[in-house]
């Protein structure tokens, strides 16, 4: 998880450099919807889809596996994860969350589905369909917004240092906060297990 977070925030920190000199590398580091839309004018749409789909799948499946590994103790330590677990406590809401993966993918939902032991093949099937469909729609939206993304790219060209400073600070803060939350949740879950073992 830390490696995924680090890659994503590295892509954000190097946004101003990579968007011009290595847009494909930027997509690999950060296959997020906003980057996919931004790069639609820089890379062929089919390339974006073919690169982003497996990477986005990998990220969501990794969060699902983290939920399976850490269980409810770990997932419940995050606000969004606790909400998703409560939703999964009701049978029909659990099914609704699984179906939601078809139209919108969310890492807290992935973790909650893993923590509650939802069948791996069902989650992966929903994610394959959902990630593929949403990626195509995101890239299509990017083609419609090309004039606006061109203006953003022009702004980045005109203000490279200021933009690099802002996104670097944002990337660092986001990585540190996310990493601290993940490590804190893991330690708390481990402490609970140890305390239960002593009793």
pLDDT tens sequence across 38-79: 898 789 999 999 999 999 999 999 988 888 876 666 666 666
In the predicted model, what is the mean pLDDT of the chain? Answer: 78
Assigned token pair, 131: 């990630």
| CA-angle at 155, arms to 153 and 161, nearest 5° | 105
Q: Are 41 and 153 in contact (CB under 8 A)?
A: yes
Alpha-carbon torsion, ordered 62, 77, 186, 3, to 10 deg:
40
Q: Give 101's DSSP letter.
A: T
Q: Are 66 and 111 in contact (CB under 8 A)?
A: yes
Rounded Cα gap, residues 76 and 111, in angstroms = 10
Q: pLDDT at residue 143 above 80?
A: yes
**Which residues have a Cβ under 8 Å from the Cβ of 55 and sit 6 or more positions away?**
28, 31
Quickly state the pLDDT bin for 5 (edges 50, 70, 90).
Answer: confident
Quickly state the pLDDT bin for 117 (edges 50, 70, 90).
Answer: confident
* Mean pLDDT, residues 85-101: 67
Place of tokens 């983290």: 66
Q: Is 1 helix (H, G, I), strand (E, B) or coil?
A: coil
% residues pLDDT > 70 (the chain):
68
Rounded Cα gap, residues 158 and 148, in angstroms = 15
Rounded Cα gap, residues 10 and 7, in angstroms = 5
Among the listed residues 125, 136, 161, 119, the one whose alpha carbon sits nearest the alpha carbon of residue 37: 136
Rounded Cα gap, residues 19 and 93, in angstroms = 40
Q: Are 8 and 30 in contact (CB under 8 A)?
A: yes
- What is the distance, to the nearest Å, from the Cα of residue 138 to the centroid of all Cα atoms in its chain? 15
Quickly state the pLDDT bin for 192 (edges 50, 70, 90).
Answer: low
Among the listed residues 179, 138, 165, the one whose alpha carbon sits nearest the alpha carbon of residue 33: 138
| pTM score of the predicted model | 0.69
């Amino acid at each position: 998880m830390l490696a995924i977070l680090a890659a994503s925030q590295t892509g954000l920190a190097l946004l101003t450099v990579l968007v011009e000199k290595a847009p494909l590398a930027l997509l690999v580091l950060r296959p997020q919807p906003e980057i996919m839309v931004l790069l639609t004018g820089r890379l062929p749409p089919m390339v974006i889809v073919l690169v982003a789909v497996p990477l986005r799948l990998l990220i969501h499946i990794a969060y699902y596996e983290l939920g399976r590994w850490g269980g409810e103790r770990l997932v419940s330590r995050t606000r969004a994860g606790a909400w998703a677990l409560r939703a999964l406590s009701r049978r029909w809401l659990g099914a609704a969350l699984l179906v939601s993966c078809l139209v919108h993918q969310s890492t807290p939902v992935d973790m909650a589905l893993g923590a509650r032991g939802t069948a791996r093949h069902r989650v992966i099937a929903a994610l394959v369909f959902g990630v593929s469909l949403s990626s195509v729609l995101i890239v299509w939206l990017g083609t419609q917004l090309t004039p606006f993304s061109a203006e953003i790219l022009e702004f980045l060209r005109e203000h490279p240092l200021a933009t690099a400073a802002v996104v670097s600070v944002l990337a660092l803060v986001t990585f540190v906060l996310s990493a601290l939350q993940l490590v804190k949740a893991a330690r708390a879950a481990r402490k609970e297990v140890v305390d239960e073992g002593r009793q």
